[in-house]
Amino acid sequence: MRILDEKNIEDIALGAAVLGTGGGGDPYIGMLMARKAIRDYGPVELYTLDEFDDDDLIIPTAMMGAPTVMVEKMPNGDDIINAFRSVGKYIGKPIKATMSIEAGGLNSVVPIYVAARERLPMVDCDGMGRAFPELQMVTHTIYGISSTPFAMSDERGNTVLMETISNKWTETFARSVTVNMGAMSMIALYAATVRELKEASIPGTMTKAETIGRTIRSARQQEENPVDTVRESVGGFLVFKGKISDVERRTEAGFAKGDAFLEGIDDYHGQRLQLSFQNEHLAVRIDGEFIVTVPDLIVLLDLDTGEPITTEAMRYGYRVAVIAIPCDNKWRTDKGLELVGPRFFGYDIDYVPVEDRFNSS
Amino acid sequence: MRIGIDVGGTNTDAVVMEGANVIATTKTPTTENVTDGIVRALRTVVEDSKLDVGSLDGVMIGTTHFTNAMVERRRLEPTACIRLGLPATVCLPPLVDWPDELVEAIGRHTYLAHGGHEFDGREISAFDPDEIRKITEEIKSKGINAIAISSVFSPVNSEFETKAAEVVLEVLPDANITLSSTIGRIGLLERENAAVMNACLRNLAAATVASFKEALSAMNISAPAFISQNDGTLMNADFAADYPVLTFASGPTNSMRGAAFLSNLKDAIVVDVGGTTTDVGVLQQGFPRAAATAVTIGGVRTNFRMPDTLSIGLGGGSIVKENPIKVGPQSVGFELTQKAKVFGGNVLTATDIAVAGGRASVGDQGLVSSIDSILVEHVNEKIQEMVSVAIDRMKTSASLVPAVIVGGGSILINDEIEGISEIVKPNHFSVANAIGAAIAQVGGETDRVFSLAEMSRDEALSEAKTEATDRAVSAGARADTVEIVDVEEVPLAYLPGNATRIMVKAVGDLAGDQ
């Protein structure tokens, strides 16, 4: 167990932007919520799964909806507590902790708010190790953990509880209720016991986000090159150094999709990289050949500052390092790849783990 | 004829312009009492140009006064903030991310009330006049007069902010009220922050604008006075007294607009080479390209559109190191004329390299004649590479564009840069801010979310353009000169009905000015 204070939260938020792989929502609002709750209710304890009893009930919490709405209509605060307690009440057992379902982006820090207010611990694990665009895309799904009982609450006091036959159905219904709630809802889902989470979740992801954030911050202070230090701290691979030469965007079924094209610089001079995205970065091709794909993490870092660059911020002239970080092994199973592999996102290729590609070449 | 004045923290500059001609310029120190400095600057340019002040069409003033007050936390009024949006937004009340010493300066008088809208225009909750009345009574009992009012999605529908202001005025008829919808865009905290900053600056603004006017009447100038806004357009002086926050960052904007004017280019890269840094910006249709990221002023996050500039550590005073060759970011700064080798010092600077390479003649060239010519060549290559990389980063496409090079350090730059079609080094640059103010036009802006399921994209665009044009005209632009200068469309992820945020900016010439 260790204590999370304001500084830890800022580091987690910064690191979560890296794990967001270009998406996941701006952690700023979530960081403010978590910081405010810690100031008002005291610091939050971060536990590892081993520090609980196997039968303890853990319920993750998150925000769902359009990032543009989140910066305008911020939550009430009671809404996410309502969702959290509703799931506990439905199950009829005491809740021992909350956790993040998505360590990348905004939802890394939102559960810290819940933990502070409920005076419960937060667990150092999540269900993605990164960010993904849809609710069923969590390691819990691979291990048969249901997203339901699922609760979603709005600021008015409405709570919708649902039971579904699959996590994909939860995504479908939750998406349309979210629109009715004003394009943003607060959710509690994937209730599980510690025993189940030991098998199904990705451990240590809060600490990982924090380490990345702290690395970037101290590299900046010491005027080191943050790109190298970040890459080392996450065990990632340098895929490319280049300049964004074009970005093509389109909206399909509510998702922001597109491709960015990079011209190589330094050792990569003469090479051309194509980066495809759908809210998050999905695939990297160099001179037409697939080099990195989901579920491995593709991260763009500003060459000078090490600042992660989101899909929305990409534009001509940015000089970036493209870093690939191996995803958790749970994603590399048949079931994992069925959920979030290249074929799910429309690329008819087999997934090759990034370290195989880089260690052999 | 126009007079442009730039009231900075250090200098007050003035220019007299007739059409596109610069008739007279001056640079004088800014005085503690702002009026004196302006009068002195005005007197100099009026005498130099033998100007008949009766023939003036307008006096345009750019000032960093209000930004500085915010940064230095001085002369700020205690301010209350009422936010309409209950039951939403409770977890992050107004002023939540403000620095403590700034909150101490204005007090934490924040109130949440019912109201606000959803992204699609539905009400979050009904507006309650009694609730606002009760809040205002409490504000009144604290003796506070400055009030900022914000409402969720007020850029989509500002009705509740207006209603709340009416109720506040019933209780506090002299209240100085700022509505967030009049100054900001989508992003509640940032827009509300701007409204609160505006409210707490209103007293200072009224006094400052009064001293501007005093200076003009001391010079017998009866022409209307205008103040520059952050987007490079003008507002009349009385409007500025009500919206001081709109002057934030007008300095860099005026400087770039001045560069555009002096070089006669509307689309170009502007490279301002100073003593320590080089700032690279982009002009699009004569206006600076705006930055996409949040801008912090005095530690407070806002969503003003500031010019997008890239700053690199290269200037005339940059210290040169060998093995490996490195230029900057350390600089001798204002001590250049003591420390650089050409001035008899012992630090090798970028200026020494320019002189040794024969591209500039300042100081004593003999003092740098012993520098190895291969080193000079390599350092020079490094400098040109730093500049061309910075320029390339700011360009929007790979095609060639012209560059305007300004600033004291511009001697460092070769006459050819990769990716640049033409290099222009204009005169009068030291008063570019005042020129930028003098040539400014009047603008109007709109920023809304449209549902493209209900109307076509063309209809939405034309509605947004009409709205921006109307706003420019009501701000004082001549209708027949209004042009759309910027259109930005952002499709919103996860929203139904193809919701798209459309931002449009229109500008036109000042009415009454030929």
pLDDT of B513 higher than 60: no
Please report residues of B whose CB lies closer than 8 A to that of A243: 392-393
Nearest Cα residue in chain B from A311: B493
Which residues on B lie below 8 Å from A76 (Cβ)? 87-91
Residues B213, B234: Cα–Cα separation, whole Å: 16
pTM comes to: 0.86
Predicted-complex ipTM score = 0.89
pLDDT greater than 50 at residue A141: yes
CB pairs below 8 Å between A and B: how many? 126
- Whether B96 sits inside 8 A of A68 (CB atoms) is no
**Quick one: which of B45, B53, B60 has its CA closest to B6?**
B60
Pick the residue from chain B with its C-alpha nearest to A81.
B91
| Rounded Cα distance, A16 and A24, in Å | 9
Q: Which range has the top average pLDDT, A159-173, B173-187, B395-409?
A: A159-173
B97 touches chain A (CB under 8 A): yes
Mean pLDDT, residues A356-361 taken together: 76
Q: Which of A88-97, B15-24, B429-438 has the highest mean pLDDT?
A: A88-97
pLDDT of residue A254: 67
Q: How far is B490 from chain A (nearest CA, A)?
A: 9
* Among B184, B121, B189, B186, residue whose Cα is nearest residue B157: B121
Looking at the predicted structure, is the pLDDT value of residue A134 above 90? Answer: yes
B389 chain-A contacts, CB cut-off 8 A = 319
pLDDT classification of B396: cutoffs 50, 70, 90: low
Alpha carbon distance A226, A223 (integer Å): 8
Report pLDDT digits (tens) over A246-262. Answer: 888 777 766 778 899 99
End-to-end Cα, chain A, rounded Å: 41
Q: What is the DSSP letter of A127?
A: S
User: Which residue is associated with the tokens 């990569």?
Assistant: A268
Burial of A172 (0-12, 13-18, 19+ CB in 10 A): middle
Nearest CB to A183; choose among B91, B397, B494:
B494
> Which residues in chain B have their CB less than 8 angstroms from residue A157's CB?
87
A74 to B116: CB separation less than 8 angstroms, yes or no:
no
Interaxial angle between packed helices A205-221 and A6-19, expressed in degrees from 0 to 180 and rounded to the nearest 10 = 100
Share the mean pLDDT of chain A.
Answer: 93
Cα-to-chain-centroid distance, residue A269: 32
| Angle, helices B65-72/B188-218, rounded to nearest 10 degrees | 130
Are residues A69 and B119, on separate chains, in Cβ contact within 8 Å? yes
Interchain proximity B493–A251, CB inside 8 Å: yes
Q: By CA distance, what is B125's nearest residue in A?
A: A156
Q: Which of A69, A76, A317 is facing B91, going by the closest CB pair?
A: A76
Question: A75 vs B498: CB contact, 8 Å cut-off?
Answer: no
Give pLDDT, residue A200. 97
Q: For an interface test with B, which of A6, A36, A72 has the most B Cβ atoms less than 10 Å from its Cβ?
A: A72
Query: How does residue B476 score in pLDDT terms, banded at 50, 70 and 90?
Result: confident
Least confident of A84-88, A175-179, A224-228, A295-299: A224-228
The answer to whether the CB of B341 falls within 8 A of the CB of B347 is yes
Query: Measured between CB atoms, does A183 come within 8 Å of chain B?
Result: yes
DSSP annotation of B25 reads E
Measure CA of the first residue to CA of the last residue in chain B; give whole Å: 10
* Chain A residues whose beta carbon lies within 8 Å of the beta carbon of residue B188: 71-74
For residue A28, the chain B residue with the least C-alpha distance is B97
Residue with tokens 């202001």: B165
* pLDDT band, very low/low/confident/very high, at B51 (cuts 50, 70, 90): confident
Instruction: Look up residue A97 and give its two tokens.
Output: 């902790």
Write down the pLDDT at residue A266: 82
Maximum mean pLDDT: which of A39-53, B210-224, B268-282: A39-53
Residue of B nearest to A257 (CA): B493
The answer to whether the CB of A181 falls within 8 A of the CB of A165 is no
Cα separation, A242 vs A55, in Å, equals: 50
- The SS3 of residue A63 is strand
Q: Which residues contact B436 (CB under 8 A, 6 or more apart)?
A: B4, B6, B62, B228, B232, B253, B254, B255, B256, B257, B258, B259, B261
Q: Are strands A272-278 and A255-264 parallel, antiparallel or unpaired?
A: antiparallel
CB A252, CB A226: distance < 8 Å: no
What local confidence, expressed as pLDDT, does residue B514 receive? Answer: 43
Rounded Cα distance, A257 and B387, in Å: 33
**DSSP symbols for B216-276:** HHHTT--S-EEEE-TTSBEEEHHHHHH-GGGGTTHHHHHHHHHHHHHHT-SSEEEEEE-SS
Chain A contact for B395 (CB, 8 A cutoff) = yes
Considering only CB atoms, which chain B residues are within 8 Å of A175?
494
CA distance B412 to B384: 8
pLDDT at B19 over 50: yes
| pLDDT, tens digit (0-9, with 9 covering 90-100), for A304-346 | 778 888 887 787 778 899 999 999 999 999 999 999 999 999 9
Asked if B103 reaches chain A (Cβ–Cβ under 8 Å), the answer is no
Of residues B455, B432, B334, B91, the one with CA closest to residue A32: B91
Question: What radius of gyration, in Å, describes the C-alpha atoms of chain A?
Answer: 19
Helix pair angle (B159-171, B129-141), 10° resolution: 50
The C-alpha atoms of residue B435 and residue B23 are separated, in whole angstroms, by 11
Q: Which residue of A has its CA nearest to B153?
A: A72
Q: Residues B365, B351: contact at Cβ < 8 Å?
A: no
CA distance B189 to chain A (A): 7
pLDDT at position A136 is 97
- The residue among B83, B399, B452, B494 with the most chain A CBs within 10 A of its CB, best to mutate, is B494
Predicted pLDDT at B452:
78
User: What is residue B494's predicted lDDT score, i.e. its pLDDT?
Assistant: 57
On whether any CB of chain B is under 8 Å from the CB of A265, the answer is no
Give the model's pLDDT for residue A87.
98
- CA dist B259 and B270 (Å) reads 7
Nearest residue of chain A to residue B83 (CA atoms): A73
Q: Which residues from chain B sit within 8 angstroms of residue A68, using beta carbons?
A: 119, 186, 449, 492-493, 495, 501
Give Cα separations from A38 to A95, B12, B33, B37, B59 (angstroms). Answer: 20, 47, 46, 50, 52
Other CB atoms within 10 Å distance of the CB of residue B55: 9
Residue type, position B345, single letter: G
Among residues B421, B408, B232, the alpha carbon closest in space to that of B337 is found at B408
A155 touches chain B (CB under 8 A): yes
Instruction: Let me know how long chain A is.
Output: 361
pLDDT band per the 50, 70, 90 thresholds, residue B393: confident
What are the beta bridge partners of residue A46? A2, A122
Which segment of A19-23, A37-41, A183-187, B477-481 scores lowest on mean pLDDT? B477-481
Residue B32 pLDDT greater than 70, yes or no: yes
Q: Which amino acid is at B20?
A: A
Amino acid B293: pLDDT: 66
Distance from CA of A33 to the nearest CA of B (A): 7
How many percent of chain A have pLDDT more than 90?
Answer: 77
Distance CA A12, CA A207 (A): 8
Residue A82's pLDDT is 98
- Comparing C-alpha atoms, which of A11, A9, A19, A121 is closest to residue A325? A19
Evaluated on CA atoms A286, A291, A297, A301, the torsion sign reads negative
Alpha-carbon distance values, B340 to B137, B273, B383, B406 (Å)? 64, 17, 17, 21
* Mean pLDDT computed over B15-32: 87
Share in percent of chain A as helix, strand, coil (round to 5) = 35, 25, 35
* DSSP state letters, B369-438: TTS-HHHHHHHHHHHHHHHHHHHHHH-SSSS-EEEEEESGGGGGS-S--TTEEEEE--S-GGGHHHHHHH
pLDDT attached to residue A20: 94
Distance from CA of B508 to the nearest CA of A (A): 29
| Minimal CA separation from B313 to chain A, in Å | 12
pLDDT score for B160: 97
Cβ-nearest to A68 among B87, B189, B501: B501
A253/chain B closest Cα distance in angstroms: 8
Q: Are B199 and B177 in contact (CB under 8 A)?
A: yes
Q: Cβ of A40 under 8 Å from any chain B Cβ?
A: no
Q: Could you read off the pLDDT of B129-140 as tens digits, one per residue? A: 999 999 999 999
Nearest to A317 among B97, B190, B393 (CB): B393
The one-letter amino acid code at A6 reads: E
Cβ–Cβ < 8 Å for B117, B154: yes
Query: Which residue in chain A has the smallest CA separation from B392?
Result: A317
| CA closest to A183 among chain B residues | B495
Q: What is the pLDDT of residues A158-179, one digit of tens each?
A: 999 999 999 999 999 999 999 8
Cα A170 from Cα A174, distance rounded (Å): 6
Six-digit token pair at B252? 């860099």
Nearest to A245 among B188, B398, B494 (CB): B398
In chain A, which residues have their Cβ closer than 8 Å to the Cβ of B96? 32, 36
